[in-house]
Amino acid sequence: MQLQAILHIPLSNYAYAVDEETLVIRIRTAKDDVKECNLFYGDRVCMHEPIDVEEIKMSKIASDQLFDYYECKIEDCYRRVCYYFQLRDVNETIYYCGAGFSEEMKCHRTQYFQFPYIRREDIPDVPDWASDIIMYHIFPDSFASGRRMLTEEGKEITLANGLSSKSRLGGTLKGVLQNLDYLDDLGVNCIYLNPIFEASEYHKYDTINYYEIDPCIGTKEDLKELVKEVHKRGMHIILDGVFNHSGSGFFAFQDVLKNGEKSKYKDWFYQLSFPIEYKEIPNYETFAYVKEMPKLNTGNQEVIDYFCNVGAYWIREMDIDGWRLDVANEINHDFWRAFRKAVRAVKKSTFLIAEIWEDSEVWLQGDQFDSAMNYTFSYLCRDFFANQSITVADFDEKIHHMLLRYPRNISLVQMNLLDSHDVPRFLSYCGGDREKLKLAMFYLFMSAGIPSVFYGDERLIEGVTEPEYRRSMVWKGDEKVLSMTALCKTWIHIRKKYEALRKGVYHTLLTEDQKGIYIFERIYQKQKLIILLHNQRGEESLEIPAEYVGHLYDLVQDAVVTENCMNIGEMEGRVFLVI
Protein backbone atom coordinates (compact mmCIF):
# COMPACT_ATOMS: atom_id res chain seq x y z
CA MET A 1 0.00 0.00 0.00
CA GLN A 2 1.39 3.40 -0.98
CA LEU A 3 1.17 5.21 2.35
CA GLN A 4 2.77 8.37 0.99
CA ALA A 5 -0.29 8.94 -1.22
CA ILE A 6 -2.83 8.74 1.60
CA LEU A 7 -4.19 12.09 2.73
CA HIS A 8 -6.78 13.31 5.21
CA ILE A 9 -6.99 16.85 6.61
CA PRO A 10 -9.27 17.34 9.63
CA LEU A 11 -11.55 20.39 9.73
CA SER A 12 -11.28 21.04 5.99
CA ASN A 13 -13.02 19.99 2.79
CA TYR A 14 -11.93 16.48 3.91
CA ALA A 15 -13.98 16.72 7.13
CA TYR A 16 -16.88 19.13 7.42
CA ALA A 17 -20.32 19.52 8.95
CA VAL A 18 -23.35 19.73 6.67
CA ASP A 19 -25.63 20.49 9.60
CA GLU A 20 -25.59 20.01 13.37
CA GLU A 21 -26.13 16.25 13.06
CA THR A 22 -24.20 15.34 9.90
CA LEU A 23 -20.50 15.09 9.10
CA VAL A 24 -18.90 14.30 5.74
CA ILE A 25 -15.49 12.60 5.87
CA ARG A 26 -13.15 12.14 2.88
CA ILE A 27 -9.80 10.46 2.32
CA ARG A 28 -7.40 10.23 -0.62
CA THR A 29 -5.45 7.09 -1.58
CA ALA A 30 -3.19 6.07 -4.45
CA LYS A 31 -5.13 5.10 -7.56
CA ASP A 32 -6.30 1.46 -7.56
CA ASP A 33 -4.23 0.83 -4.43
CA VAL A 34 -6.98 0.19 -1.88
CA LYS A 35 -9.70 -2.43 -2.20
CA GLU A 36 -11.76 -1.27 0.76
CA CYS A 37 -11.88 1.81 2.94
CA ASN A 38 -13.83 2.01 6.20
CA LEU A 39 -14.33 4.74 8.78
CA PHE A 40 -14.53 4.03 12.51
CA TYR A 41 -15.91 6.81 14.68
CA GLY A 42 -17.09 7.42 18.21
CA ASP A 43 -17.94 10.00 20.85
CA ARG A 44 -14.78 11.86 21.90
CA VAL A 45 -16.09 12.03 25.48
CA CYS A 46 -17.51 8.51 25.63
CA MET A 47 -17.69 7.25 29.24
CA HIS A 48 -16.26 3.85 28.25
CA GLU A 49 -12.61 2.96 27.90
CA PRO A 50 -11.78 1.94 25.24
CA ILE A 51 -14.51 3.97 23.58
CA ASP A 52 -17.37 2.48 21.60
CA VAL A 53 -16.88 2.91 17.85
CA GLU A 54 -19.14 2.43 14.86
CA GLU A 55 -18.09 1.44 11.35
CA ILE A 56 -19.13 2.96 8.01
CA LYS A 57 -18.05 1.66 4.60
CA MET A 58 -16.69 4.52 2.50
CA SER A 59 -17.54 4.92 -1.20
CA LYS A 60 -15.18 5.90 -3.98
CA ILE A 61 -16.51 9.22 -5.32
CA ALA A 62 -13.79 10.22 -7.81
CA SER A 63 -10.50 9.19 -9.38
CA ASP A 64 -7.75 10.82 -11.39
CA GLN A 65 -4.45 9.66 -12.87
CA LEU A 66 -2.79 9.47 -9.46
CA PHE A 67 -5.41 9.15 -6.75
CA ASP A 68 -8.77 7.76 -5.65
CA TYR A 69 -11.07 9.73 -3.36
CA TYR A 70 -13.39 8.12 -0.83
CA GLU A 71 -16.24 9.65 1.14
CA CYS A 72 -18.86 8.76 3.72
CA LYS A 73 -21.52 10.61 5.65
CA ILE A 74 -22.02 10.27 9.41
CA GLU A 75 -25.68 10.98 10.11
CA ASP A 76 -27.27 11.51 13.53
CA CYS A 77 -23.73 11.71 14.84
CA TYR A 78 -22.33 12.87 18.14
CA ARG A 79 -21.58 16.55 18.63
CA ARG A 80 -17.99 15.61 19.48
CA VAL A 81 -16.45 13.05 17.14
CA CYS A 82 -13.14 11.21 16.95
CA TYR A 83 -12.39 8.83 14.08
CA TYR A 84 -9.84 6.74 12.21
CA PHE A 85 -9.63 4.86 8.91
CA GLN A 86 -9.17 1.21 8.05
CA LEU A 87 -7.60 0.65 4.61
CA ARG A 88 -7.40 -2.77 2.97
CA ASP A 89 -5.75 -4.12 -0.13
CA VAL A 90 -5.20 -7.73 -1.21
CA ASN A 91 -2.30 -8.32 1.17
CA GLU A 92 -2.63 -6.06 4.18
CA THR A 93 -4.83 -3.95 6.43
CA ILE A 94 -3.62 -0.56 7.60
CA TYR A 95 -5.12 1.80 10.18
CA TYR A 96 -4.71 5.54 9.83
CA CYS A 97 -5.32 8.09 12.58
CA GLY A 98 -3.90 11.37 13.85
CA ALA A 99 -0.83 9.52 15.14
CA GLY A 100 -0.09 8.05 11.70
CA PHE A 101 -0.23 4.51 10.28
CA SER A 102 -0.25 1.17 12.09
CA GLU A 103 -1.11 -2.47 11.48
CA GLU A 104 -3.27 -2.55 14.61
CA MET A 105 -5.34 0.23 16.14
CA LYS A 106 -3.87 0.57 19.63
CA CYS A 107 -3.91 4.36 19.82
CA HIS A 108 -5.88 6.16 22.50
CA ARG A 109 -8.90 8.18 21.39
CA THR A 110 -6.90 11.39 21.89
CA GLN A 111 -4.69 10.31 18.99
CA TYR A 112 -7.60 9.72 16.59
CA PHE A 113 -8.57 12.41 14.09
CA GLN A 114 -10.79 14.91 15.87
CA PHE A 115 -13.87 16.94 15.04
CA PRO A 116 -13.97 18.72 18.43
CA TYR A 117 -17.55 20.01 18.34
CA ILE A 118 -20.17 20.62 15.67
CA ARG A 119 -20.95 24.27 16.26
CA ARG A 120 -23.90 25.85 14.52
CA GLU A 121 -21.94 29.08 14.12
CA ASP A 122 -19.17 27.35 12.16
CA ILE A 123 -21.45 25.72 9.57
CA PRO A 124 -21.59 27.84 6.39
CA ASP A 125 -24.97 29.56 6.35
CA VAL A 126 -25.72 29.66 2.63
CA PRO A 127 -29.16 31.15 1.80
CA ASP A 128 -31.73 28.49 0.97
CA TRP A 129 -32.51 30.06 -2.41
CA ALA A 130 -28.89 29.99 -3.62
CA SER A 131 -28.77 26.41 -4.93
CA ASP A 132 -31.86 27.09 -7.06
CA ILE A 133 -30.33 30.09 -8.83
CA ILE A 134 -30.25 30.25 -12.62
CA MET A 135 -28.38 33.50 -13.15
CA TYR A 136 -28.52 36.03 -15.95
CA HIS A 137 -25.53 38.38 -15.94
CA ILE A 138 -26.22 41.84 -17.39
CA PHE A 139 -23.74 44.54 -18.36
CA PRO A 140 -26.21 47.45 -17.99
CA ASP A 141 -24.80 49.79 -20.67
CA SER A 142 -25.05 47.04 -23.30
CA PHE A 143 -28.41 45.42 -22.55
CA ALA A 144 -31.45 47.58 -23.28
CA SER A 145 -32.85 51.11 -23.19
CA GLY A 146 -36.40 50.05 -24.04
CA ARG A 147 -38.50 47.00 -24.80
CA ARG A 148 -36.45 44.69 -27.03
CA MET A 149 -34.21 47.57 -28.10
CA LEU A 150 -31.03 49.53 -27.32
CA THR A 151 -30.28 53.04 -28.60
CA GLU A 152 -26.58 52.25 -29.11
CA GLU A 153 -25.90 55.93 -28.47
CA GLY A 154 -23.41 57.03 -25.85
CA LYS A 155 -23.79 60.16 -23.78
CA GLU A 156 -21.91 62.28 -21.29
CA ILE A 157 -23.55 63.93 -18.28
CA THR A 158 -21.98 66.58 -16.04
CA LEU A 159 -22.37 65.66 -12.37
CA ALA A 160 -23.05 68.00 -9.46
CA ASN A 161 -19.37 68.01 -8.46
CA GLY A 162 -18.32 69.09 -11.94
CA LEU A 163 -17.06 65.66 -12.98
CA SER A 164 -18.64 63.77 -15.85
CA SER A 165 -20.31 60.39 -16.35
CA LYS A 166 -20.21 58.52 -19.65
CA SER A 167 -22.13 55.76 -21.35
CA ARG A 168 -21.22 53.92 -24.54
CA LEU A 169 -24.34 52.15 -25.78
CA GLY A 170 -27.08 53.71 -23.66
CA GLY A 171 -28.43 50.77 -21.64
CA THR A 172 -30.48 51.67 -18.56
CA LEU A 173 -32.25 50.19 -15.55
CA LYS A 174 -35.56 50.96 -17.25
CA GLY A 175 -34.33 48.89 -20.16
CA VAL A 176 -33.79 45.94 -17.83
CA LEU A 177 -37.24 46.50 -16.31
CA GLN A 178 -38.94 46.60 -19.71
CA ASN A 179 -37.41 43.25 -20.64
CA LEU A 180 -38.18 41.29 -17.50
CA ASP A 181 -40.81 39.36 -19.45
CA TYR A 182 -38.07 38.12 -21.79
CA LEU A 183 -35.94 36.97 -18.85
CA ASP A 184 -38.92 35.42 -17.09
CA ASP A 185 -39.88 33.54 -20.25
CA LEU A 186 -36.29 32.34 -20.66
CA GLY A 187 -36.60 30.87 -17.18
CA VAL A 188 -33.79 32.62 -15.28
CA ASN A 189 -34.57 33.55 -11.68
CA CYS A 190 -31.67 35.77 -10.64
CA ILE A 191 -30.25 38.90 -12.28
CA TYR A 192 -26.68 40.00 -11.61
CA LEU A 193 -25.99 43.59 -12.68
CA ASN A 194 -22.50 44.95 -13.24
CA PRO A 195 -21.92 48.29 -11.41
CA ILE A 196 -24.69 50.88 -11.55
CA PHE A 197 -23.36 53.49 -9.11
CA GLU A 198 -22.21 56.97 -10.08
CA ALA A 199 -18.91 56.71 -11.94
CA SER A 200 -16.96 58.29 -14.78
CA GLU A 201 -16.48 55.53 -17.35
CA TYR A 202 -19.15 53.48 -19.12
CA HIS A 203 -18.17 50.30 -17.23
CA LYS A 204 -18.80 52.01 -13.83
CA TYR A 205 -15.91 50.29 -12.04
CA ASP A 206 -14.45 53.71 -11.10
CA THR A 207 -17.05 54.68 -8.51
CA ILE A 208 -17.50 58.36 -7.64
CA ASN A 209 -20.51 58.11 -5.33
CA TYR A 210 -21.49 54.81 -3.70
CA TYR A 211 -24.84 56.21 -2.57
CA GLU A 212 -26.15 57.33 -5.97
CA ILE A 213 -27.20 55.58 -9.17
CA ASP A 214 -25.26 56.73 -12.21
CA PRO A 215 -27.46 59.17 -14.19
CA CYS A 216 -26.52 57.48 -17.47
CA ILE A 217 -28.08 54.28 -16.10
CA GLY A 218 -31.06 55.60 -14.15
CA THR A 219 -32.26 56.72 -10.75
CA LYS A 220 -32.94 55.25 -7.33
CA GLU A 221 -36.62 55.13 -8.22
CA ASP A 222 -35.76 53.11 -11.33
CA LEU A 223 -33.84 50.61 -9.20
CA LYS A 224 -36.59 50.43 -6.61
CA GLU A 225 -39.18 49.69 -9.30
CA LEU A 226 -36.90 47.11 -10.93
CA VAL A 227 -36.33 45.26 -7.65
CA LYS A 228 -40.06 45.32 -6.90
CA GLU A 229 -40.94 43.83 -10.29
CA VAL A 230 -38.13 41.27 -10.07
CA HIS A 231 -39.46 40.07 -6.73
CA LYS A 232 -43.02 39.94 -8.09
CA ARG A 233 -41.80 37.33 -10.56
CA GLY A 234 -40.17 35.25 -7.84
CA MET A 235 -36.72 36.33 -9.03
CA HIS A 236 -33.74 37.81 -7.17
CA ILE A 237 -31.31 40.61 -7.96
CA ILE A 238 -27.61 40.96 -7.14
CA LEU A 239 -25.57 44.17 -7.45
CA ASP A 240 -21.85 44.64 -8.08
CA GLY A 241 -19.82 46.28 -5.30
CA VAL A 242 -16.39 47.76 -6.01
CA PHE A 243 -14.65 48.26 -2.66
CA ASN A 244 -11.06 47.33 -3.53
CA HIS A 245 -10.65 50.71 -5.18
CA SER A 246 -12.68 53.82 -5.89
CA GLY A 247 -12.70 56.19 -8.81
CA SER A 248 -10.43 59.21 -8.68
CA GLY A 249 -13.60 61.30 -8.39
CA PHE A 250 -14.54 59.69 -5.05
CA PHE A 251 -14.88 62.47 -2.46
CA ALA A 252 -12.15 61.07 -0.20
CA PHE A 253 -9.57 60.89 -2.99
CA GLN A 254 -10.55 64.33 -4.25
CA ASP A 255 -9.81 65.62 -0.75
CA VAL A 256 -6.40 63.93 -0.84
CA LEU A 257 -5.64 65.52 -4.22
CA LYS A 258 -6.64 68.91 -2.84
CA ASN A 259 -5.10 68.81 0.65
CA GLY A 260 -2.25 66.33 0.31
CA GLU A 261 -0.76 65.16 3.60
CA LYS A 262 -3.19 67.37 5.51
CA SER A 263 -6.21 65.46 4.15
CA LYS A 264 -8.18 63.66 6.84
CA TYR A 265 -8.76 60.90 4.30
CA LYS A 266 -5.11 60.18 3.51
CA ASP A 267 -5.28 56.91 5.49
CA TRP A 268 -8.25 55.75 3.40
CA PHE A 269 -5.85 54.80 0.59
CA TYR A 270 -2.88 52.48 0.17
CA GLN A 271 0.70 53.65 -0.03
CA LEU A 272 0.21 57.29 -0.91
CA SER A 273 3.31 59.36 -1.66
CA PHE A 274 3.27 63.12 -1.40
CA PRO A 275 2.94 65.19 -3.37
CA ILE A 276 0.47 63.00 -5.28
CA GLU A 277 1.53 62.48 -8.88
CA TYR A 278 -1.68 61.95 -10.85
CA LYS A 279 -0.07 60.71 -14.05
CA GLU A 280 0.06 57.63 -16.29
CA ILE A 281 2.15 55.69 -13.77
CA PRO A 282 1.04 57.20 -10.44
CA ASN A 283 3.01 57.23 -7.18
CA TYR A 284 0.19 55.60 -5.25
CA GLU A 285 -1.32 52.11 -5.20
CA THR A 286 -4.16 51.48 -7.67
CA PHE A 287 -6.20 48.71 -9.22
CA ALA A 288 -3.66 47.26 -11.66
CA TYR A 289 -1.86 50.43 -12.81
CA VAL A 290 -4.94 52.53 -13.53
CA LYS A 291 -4.44 56.01 -12.06
CA GLU A 292 -8.19 56.64 -12.05
CA MET A 293 -8.70 53.75 -9.62
CA PRO A 294 -6.82 54.42 -6.34
CA LYS A 295 -6.70 51.39 -4.04
CA LEU A 296 -8.66 51.74 -0.81
CA ASN A 297 -7.10 50.91 2.55
CA THR A 298 -9.67 48.37 3.68
CA GLY A 299 -7.72 47.77 6.87
CA ASN A 300 -8.66 51.25 8.07
CA GLN A 301 -11.64 51.12 10.47
CA GLU A 302 -13.23 54.24 8.96
CA VAL A 303 -13.09 52.62 5.52
CA ILE A 304 -14.53 49.37 6.88
CA ASP A 305 -17.40 51.23 8.54
CA TYR A 306 -18.09 53.32 5.43
CA PHE A 307 -18.40 50.38 3.06
CA CYS A 308 -20.27 48.18 5.52
CA ASN A 309 -22.81 50.99 5.63
CA VAL A 310 -22.87 51.13 1.82
CA GLY A 311 -23.56 47.40 1.62
CA ALA A 312 -26.32 47.59 4.21
CA TYR A 313 -27.86 50.74 2.69
CA TRP A 314 -28.79 49.23 -0.68
CA ILE A 315 -30.27 46.16 0.99
CA ARG A 316 -32.25 48.21 3.48
CA GLU A 317 -33.45 50.88 1.04
CA MET A 318 -33.88 48.86 -2.18
CA ASP A 319 -34.31 45.29 -0.88
CA ILE A 320 -31.62 43.83 -3.15
CA ASP A 321 -30.80 40.16 -2.54
CA GLY A 322 -27.04 40.00 -2.73
CA TRP A 323 -23.68 41.41 -3.71
CA ARG A 324 -21.00 40.32 -6.14
CA LEU A 325 -17.80 41.86 -4.77
CA ASP A 326 -15.08 42.99 -7.15
CA VAL A 327 -11.38 42.02 -6.74
CA ALA A 328 -12.31 40.26 -3.48
CA ASN A 329 -8.97 38.48 -3.11
CA GLU A 330 -7.04 41.77 -2.85
CA ILE A 331 -9.04 42.89 0.19
CA ASN A 332 -8.24 41.79 3.75
CA HIS A 333 -10.28 39.03 5.35
CA ASP A 334 -11.38 41.10 8.36
CA PHE A 335 -13.04 43.57 6.01
CA TRP A 336 -15.14 40.81 4.46
CA ARG A 337 -16.03 39.35 7.86
CA ALA A 338 -17.30 42.76 8.97
CA PHE A 339 -19.12 43.28 5.66
CA ARG A 340 -20.90 39.92 5.92
CA LYS A 341 -22.09 40.69 9.44
CA ALA A 342 -23.30 44.14 8.41
CA VAL A 343 -25.38 43.02 5.43
CA ARG A 344 -26.68 39.85 7.10
CA ALA A 345 -27.88 41.99 10.03
CA VAL A 346 -30.20 43.76 7.58
CA LYS A 347 -31.24 40.72 5.53
CA LYS A 348 -30.23 37.25 6.69
CA SER A 349 -30.74 35.72 3.24
CA THR A 350 -28.22 38.04 1.52
CA PHE A 351 -26.06 36.07 -0.94
CA LEU A 352 -22.40 37.08 -1.30
CA ILE A 353 -20.28 36.20 -4.35
CA ALA A 354 -16.56 36.92 -4.58
CA GLU A 355 -14.77 37.82 -7.77
CA ILE A 356 -11.86 35.41 -7.37
CA TRP A 357 -10.46 33.66 -10.43
CA GLU A 358 -8.64 30.84 -8.63
CA ASP A 359 -9.17 28.45 -5.72
CA SER A 360 -11.25 30.39 -3.19
CA GLU A 361 -11.19 28.02 -0.21
CA VAL A 362 -9.92 30.55 2.36
CA TRP A 363 -12.75 32.95 1.45
CA LEU A 364 -15.45 30.24 1.61
CA GLN A 365 -15.25 29.17 5.24
CA GLY A 366 -18.69 30.57 6.10
CA ASP A 367 -17.39 33.81 7.60
CA GLN A 368 -16.88 35.83 4.40
CA PHE A 369 -18.47 34.65 1.14
CA ASP A 370 -21.06 32.10 0.08
CA SER A 371 -19.78 31.69 -3.47
CA ALA A 372 -17.13 32.76 -5.97
CA MET A 373 -17.05 33.31 -9.71
CA ASN A 374 -15.92 29.90 -10.93
CA TYR A 375 -13.47 30.74 -13.70
CA THR A 376 -11.99 27.25 -13.30
CA PHE A 377 -15.25 25.96 -14.79
CA SER A 378 -14.89 28.30 -17.77
CA TYR A 379 -11.27 27.25 -18.40
CA LEU A 380 -12.18 23.56 -18.39
CA CYS A 381 -15.14 24.09 -20.73
CA ARG A 382 -12.93 26.16 -23.02
CA ASP A 383 -10.35 23.35 -23.20
CA PHE A 384 -12.89 20.55 -23.61
CA PHE A 385 -15.67 22.00 -25.76
CA ALA A 386 -14.14 24.99 -27.57
CA ASN A 387 -10.55 23.88 -28.17
CA GLN A 388 -11.09 20.14 -27.76
CA SER A 389 -7.54 20.05 -26.41
CA ILE A 390 -8.18 17.63 -23.54
CA THR A 391 -9.69 14.15 -23.50
CA VAL A 392 -12.94 13.13 -21.89
CA ALA A 393 -11.03 11.46 -19.06
CA ASP A 394 -8.92 14.59 -18.53
CA PHE A 395 -12.01 16.77 -18.41
CA ASP A 396 -13.73 14.48 -15.94
CA GLU A 397 -10.64 14.37 -13.72
CA LYS A 398 -10.34 18.16 -13.66
CA ILE A 399 -14.06 18.63 -13.00
CA HIS A 400 -13.83 16.36 -9.97
CA HIS A 401 -10.76 18.24 -8.73
CA MET A 402 -12.82 21.41 -9.01
CA LEU A 403 -15.79 19.93 -7.14
CA LEU A 404 -13.62 18.44 -4.38
CA ARG A 405 -11.95 21.77 -3.57
CA TYR A 406 -14.85 22.66 -1.27
CA PRO A 407 -17.51 20.94 0.84
CA ARG A 408 -20.31 19.75 -1.45
CA ASN A 409 -22.87 22.30 -0.21
CA ILE A 410 -20.40 25.05 -1.13
CA SER A 411 -19.52 23.57 -4.54
CA LEU A 412 -23.23 23.49 -5.38
CA VAL A 413 -23.47 27.30 -5.15
CA GLN A 414 -20.32 28.29 -7.04
CA MET A 415 -21.07 30.69 -9.90
CA ASN A 416 -20.32 28.60 -12.99
CA LEU A 417 -19.74 30.63 -16.13
CA LEU A 418 -18.61 30.14 -19.70
CA ASP A 419 -17.69 33.81 -20.12
CA SER A 420 -18.23 37.22 -18.53
CA HIS A 421 -17.69 40.95 -18.98
CA ASP A 422 -13.93 40.38 -18.49
CA VAL A 423 -13.17 37.67 -21.08
CA PRO A 424 -13.97 36.95 -24.74
CA ARG A 425 -17.32 35.38 -25.59
CA PHE A 426 -17.37 31.60 -25.45
CA LEU A 427 -18.68 31.41 -29.02
CA SER A 428 -15.54 33.28 -30.12
CA TYR A 429 -13.38 30.74 -28.30
CA CYS A 430 -15.32 28.16 -30.32
CA GLY A 431 -14.32 29.93 -33.54
CA GLY A 432 -17.99 30.69 -34.19
CA ASP A 433 -18.94 27.00 -34.04
CA ARG A 434 -22.48 27.03 -32.67
CA GLU A 435 -22.54 23.28 -32.04
CA LYS A 436 -19.65 23.59 -29.61
CA LEU A 437 -21.41 26.43 -27.80
CA LYS A 438 -24.64 24.42 -27.61
CA LEU A 439 -22.93 21.45 -25.99
CA ALA A 440 -21.09 23.68 -23.52
CA MET A 441 -24.31 25.49 -22.61
CA PHE A 442 -26.06 22.15 -22.17
CA TYR A 443 -23.32 21.07 -19.78
CA LEU A 444 -23.55 24.38 -17.91
CA PHE A 445 -27.17 23.62 -16.99
CA MET A 446 -26.55 19.95 -16.19
CA SER A 447 -23.44 20.40 -14.04
CA ALA A 448 -23.03 21.04 -10.30
CA GLY A 449 -23.08 24.72 -9.37
CA ILE A 450 -25.03 27.85 -10.24
CA PRO A 451 -25.30 28.29 -14.03
CA SER A 452 -24.64 31.90 -15.06
CA VAL A 453 -25.49 33.11 -18.56
CA PHE A 454 -23.80 36.31 -19.71
CA TYR A 455 -26.38 38.41 -21.54
CA GLY A 456 -26.65 37.44 -25.19
CA ASP A 457 -24.85 34.10 -25.03
CA GLU A 458 -28.27 32.60 -25.69
CA ARG A 459 -28.45 34.97 -28.70
CA LEU A 460 -25.10 33.85 -30.19
CA ILE A 461 -23.14 37.00 -29.38
CA GLU A 462 -19.45 36.86 -30.28
CA GLY A 463 -16.54 39.12 -29.29
CA VAL A 464 -12.83 38.92 -28.56
CA THR A 465 -11.86 42.47 -27.56
CA GLU A 466 -13.48 44.37 -24.69
CA PRO A 467 -15.78 46.52 -26.88
CA GLU A 468 -16.79 43.38 -28.80
CA TYR A 469 -17.65 41.09 -25.89
CA ARG A 470 -19.55 43.97 -24.26
CA ARG A 471 -21.44 44.69 -27.47
CA SER A 472 -25.16 45.39 -27.79
CA MET A 473 -27.69 42.75 -26.84
CA VAL A 474 -29.15 41.02 -29.90
CA TRP A 475 -32.87 41.68 -29.70
CA LYS A 476 -33.81 40.84 -33.30
CA GLY A 477 -32.48 37.43 -34.13
CA ASP A 478 -32.58 35.10 -37.11
CA GLU A 479 -33.64 31.46 -37.01
CA LYS A 480 -30.27 30.37 -35.59
CA VAL A 481 -30.54 32.86 -32.72
CA LEU A 482 -34.11 31.87 -31.94
CA SER A 483 -33.18 28.18 -32.01
CA MET A 484 -30.35 28.70 -29.51
CA THR A 485 -32.62 30.72 -27.23
CA ALA A 486 -35.26 27.99 -27.37
CA LEU A 487 -32.71 25.32 -26.44
CA CYS A 488 -31.55 27.33 -23.43
CA LYS A 489 -35.16 27.76 -22.38
CA THR A 490 -35.67 23.98 -22.55
CA TRP A 491 -32.54 23.20 -20.53
CA ILE A 492 -33.42 25.82 -17.92
CA HIS A 493 -36.90 24.34 -17.57
CA ILE A 494 -35.39 20.88 -16.98
CA ARG A 495 -32.97 22.22 -14.37
CA LYS A 496 -35.77 24.01 -12.51
CA LYS A 497 -37.96 20.91 -12.54
CA TYR A 498 -35.42 18.37 -11.25
CA GLU A 499 -33.75 18.94 -7.88
CA ALA A 500 -31.03 16.43 -8.69
CA LEU A 501 -29.53 18.96 -11.11
CA ARG A 502 -29.47 21.68 -8.46
CA LYS A 503 -28.67 19.72 -5.30
CA GLY A 504 -27.51 16.27 -6.36
CA VAL A 505 -24.15 14.53 -6.19
CA TYR A 506 -22.11 14.32 -9.39
CA HIS A 507 -20.90 10.82 -10.22
CA THR A 508 -19.09 9.69 -13.37
CA LEU A 509 -20.43 6.62 -15.16
CA LEU A 510 -18.36 6.49 -18.36
CA THR A 511 -15.46 8.26 -20.06
CA GLU A 512 -14.81 7.05 -23.60
CA ASP A 513 -11.94 9.04 -25.11
CA GLN A 514 -11.95 7.51 -28.59
CA LYS A 515 -15.66 8.12 -29.11
CA GLY A 516 -15.73 11.41 -27.21
CA ILE A 517 -18.51 10.14 -24.95
CA TYR A 518 -18.95 11.36 -21.39
CA ILE A 519 -21.72 10.07 -19.11
CA PHE A 520 -22.37 11.13 -15.54
CA GLU A 521 -25.28 11.04 -13.13
CA ARG A 522 -26.80 13.55 -10.73
CA ILE A 523 -28.53 11.99 -7.72
CA TYR A 524 -30.63 13.65 -5.04
CA GLN A 525 -32.60 11.52 -2.59
CA LYS A 526 -34.58 9.08 -4.80
CA GLN A 527 -34.22 11.13 -7.99
CA LYS A 528 -31.56 10.13 -10.51
CA LEU A 529 -30.72 11.79 -13.83
CA ILE A 530 -28.17 10.50 -16.32
CA ILE A 531 -26.47 13.01 -18.60
CA LEU A 532 -24.74 12.02 -21.84
CA LEU A 533 -22.40 14.21 -23.88
CA HIS A 534 -20.86 13.40 -27.25
CA ASN A 535 -18.05 15.88 -27.90
CA GLN A 536 -17.01 14.79 -31.39
CA ARG A 537 -18.08 15.06 -35.02
CA GLY A 538 -19.96 12.21 -36.61
CA GLU A 539 -22.49 9.86 -35.08
CA GLU A 540 -21.73 7.14 -32.56
CA SER A 541 -23.63 4.20 -31.11
CA LEU A 542 -23.82 3.31 -27.45
CA GLU A 543 -24.86 0.02 -25.92
CA ILE A 544 -27.40 0.44 -23.13
CA PRO A 545 -27.00 -1.85 -20.09
CA ALA A 546 -29.95 -4.23 -19.79
CA GLU A 547 -31.04 -2.84 -16.42
CA TYR A 548 -31.61 0.59 -18.01
CA VAL A 549 -33.59 -0.49 -21.09
CA GLY A 550 -37.15 0.73 -20.57
CA HIS A 551 -36.08 2.79 -17.55
CA LEU A 552 -34.54 5.86 -19.20
CA TYR A 553 -36.88 8.72 -20.03
CA ASP A 554 -35.38 11.26 -22.45
CA LEU A 555 -36.41 14.64 -21.02
CA VAL A 556 -35.84 16.56 -24.26
CA GLN A 557 -37.21 14.06 -26.78
CA ASP A 558 -40.07 13.05 -24.45
CA ALA A 559 -39.55 9.33 -25.02
CA VAL A 560 -38.54 6.20 -23.12
CA VAL A 561 -35.44 4.35 -24.33
CA THR A 562 -36.66 0.88 -25.31
CA GLU A 563 -33.70 -0.41 -27.35
CA ASN A 564 -30.40 -1.79 -26.08
CA CYS A 565 -28.45 0.38 -28.51
CA MET A 566 -28.64 4.15 -28.86
CA ASN A 567 -27.45 6.37 -31.72
CA ILE A 568 -25.84 9.62 -30.60
CA GLY A 569 -25.57 12.63 -32.90
CA GLU A 570 -22.43 14.71 -33.29
CA MET A 571 -21.82 17.31 -30.57
CA GLU A 572 -24.99 16.15 -28.84
CA GLY A 573 -26.11 16.33 -25.23
CA ARG A 574 -28.97 14.27 -23.78
CA VAL A 575 -30.48 14.01 -20.32
CA PHE A 576 -32.49 11.06 -19.01
CA LEU A 577 -34.62 10.54 -15.93
CA VAL A 578 -34.20 7.06 -14.48
CA ILE A 579 -37.73 5.68 -14.03
Which residues have a catalytic role annotated? Answer: 326, 355
Q: Which residues of 83-96 are buried (b: 16+ CB within 10 A; e: fewer)?
A: bbbbbebeeeebbb
CA distance 413 to 360: 13
Q: 400: alpha, beta or left, given left = phi > 0 and alpha = psi -120 to 50?
A: alpha
Report the largest interatomic distance among the alpha carbons of the chain, rounded to a whole angstrom.
Answer: 81
Q: Residue 429: name the closest of 473, 383, 374 by CA.
A: 383
Q: Residue 331: name the closest of 373, 375, 368, 292 by CA.
A: 368
Question: Does 124 sit behind a cis peptide bond, omega within 30 degrees of 0 on the bond before it?
Answer: no
CA distance 566 to 217: 52
User: Residue type at 218?
Assistant: G
Question: Does 50 sit behind a cis peptide bond, omega within 30 degrees of 0 on the bond before it?
Answer: yes
Question: What angle do helix axes 301-318 and 333-346 make, rounded to 10 degrees?
Answer: 30
Query: Could you tell me how far CA 471 lies from the centroid of its own chain?
Result: 24
Residues 274-282: contacts with CB under 8 Å, at least 24 apart: 278/248
- In sequence order, which ranges of 373-421 are alpha helices (DSSP H)? 375-381, 392-404, 408-411
